[in-house]
Amino acid sequence: QVRLVESGGGLAQPGGSLRLACETSRRDFIIMGWFRQTPGKQRELVARINVGGSTEYTDLAKGRFTISRDNARNTVYLQMSSLKPEDTAVYYCYGDAVNTATKAFDRSWGQGTQVTVSS
């Protein structure tokens, strides 16, 4: 069973920083990234990174968050800075790997980690 295990969530003050980590047992994720979700809202993409290190950020993350990946450790990180109360959410790590039978991406999810930004 594929496992992605997030860590690093918690409480931060507005303007503060947190670093999330997501470690996986799987070595063939082509793309890894982070979504976040608040109660009553759909899960939204934060940032993603491919195996070559190319990154993509959504507007909510640009200029404040940095995604990185350590392929040797099968770990993806999300460095979050200049945090705002509206960044409060459950952050989910995910990985996309090619299904060799269908040639489509299969997506796996972590269990989520709570980030709360409050003074």
Return averaged pLDDT per consecutive 10 residues of the chain, 119 residues in all: 89 98 93 96 97 96 96 95 97 95 93 97
Check residue 3 and give its pLDDT: 87
Environment class of 25 (CB within 10 Å of its CB; exposed 0-12, middle 13-18, buried 19+):
exposed
Closest by CA to 109, choosing from 99, 94, 96, is 94
